[in-house]
Chains A and B, each alone.
Chain A
């Protein structure tokens, strides 16, 4: 049941990505191209997603525990450090170059385009590079 639930959750999220336009690099790059033919559509994606998540999280947390046991596992870190800022800055640069981000590229893989597979392989290469150059502390 837990795995079926995860599968359905992935489908809902992936369908949202596909319908929203997030998985189309041309649309993502047009969103960031403020000096060109600016397409502000993706601001509506973030708006819709944050509204639902903000309200939904608070309703869910009232339960005390998740449906499939255990507890809510929320990131505990509070440090505003060079890893956070530098990593985020780099992520944005890569996103601006390729037009894909990880959460959008995974559903985009389902369209069967080779460019998406190439991008995700490069992302995984980037994960590995980070593990080698800047291993997590603690």
Chain B
């Protein structure tokens, strides 16, 4: 199973992701960090800020359906792992991203663009551990 190489679609999608990050800064003056926004929404950390966080997350969830409405094709995804790995991975992602104050969107897109030194440390760190993990899971322990 080898996903196709999609440089144009991926670059175009990246431009839209960046536009989303810029729009949130323009409108609300906020970093587009999925971990922070999701966590603050779930734990209702600031009631006055809950409304826009709910609206933002709702928009994100609506996106694939709107793509389907426009193009007639639902974006597809393949999950090559079982429920156990999903849960283990999810808990570690949630714990780690929360502890490290950000994930791909917050540190990766917004932090690097702000030239944040913390993000310049965070991004190579999580890229490296992700690559090492995939190597171990696929080529050492599994396959």
Contact A44–B93 (Cβ < 8 Å): no
A103 & B98 in contact (Cβ 8 Å cutoff) = no
Q: Among A66, A77, A110, which residue has its beta carbon within 8 angstroms of that of B65?
A: A110
Contact A25 B79 (CB under 8 A): yes
Across-interface contacts of A80 in B (CB, < 8 A): 117-118, 121
Query: Judging by beta carbons under 8 Å apart, are B28 and A50 in contact?
Result: no
Question: In the docked arrangement, what's the CA distance between A68 and B24, Å?
Answer: 10
- Chain B minimum-CB-distance residue to A20: B13
What count of chain A residues pass the 8 Å CB interface test?
116
Instruction: Give the docked Cα–Cα distance between A76 and B15 (Å).
Output: 26
The proximity string for B residues 39-68 relative to A, scoring 1 for CB distances below 8 Å and 0 otherwise, is: 100110000000111011111111111110
Chain B facing A: main interface SS? helix
A110 B83 Cβ-Cβ under 8 A: no
Secondary structure at the A interface, as helix, strand, loop or mixed, is helix
B23 touches A22 (CB 8 A): no
Interfacial chain B residues near A39, Cβ < 8 Å: 2-5
Distance in angstroms from A19 CB to nearest chain B CB is: 4
Q: Which residue of A lies closest to B32 (CB)?
A: A13
Give bound CA distance, A30 to B42, whole Å.
Answer: 31
Quick one: which of B68-91 are within 8 Å of A by CB? 74-81, 83, 85-91
Partner of A10, one of B55, B83, B109: B55
Do the beta carbons of A92 and B81 come within 8 Å of each other? no
A66 to B32, CA, bound (A): 14
A127 touches B95 (CB 8 A): yes
**Max chain B CB contacts within 10 Å: which of A60, A67, A92, A98?**
A92
Contacts of B135 in A (CB 8 A): 32-35
11 pairs, CB–CB < 8 Å, chain A vs chain B = A2-B27, A3-B52, A29-B138, A36-B138, A49-B18, A52-B15, A53-B113, A80-B121, A91-B97, A100-B90, A126-B98
* Residues of A in contact with B (beta carbons under 8 Å apart): 2-27, 29-30, 32-37, 39-42, 44-54, 56-57, 59-61, 63, 65-68, 70-75, 77-80, 83-104, 106-111, 113, 115-116, 118-131, 133-134
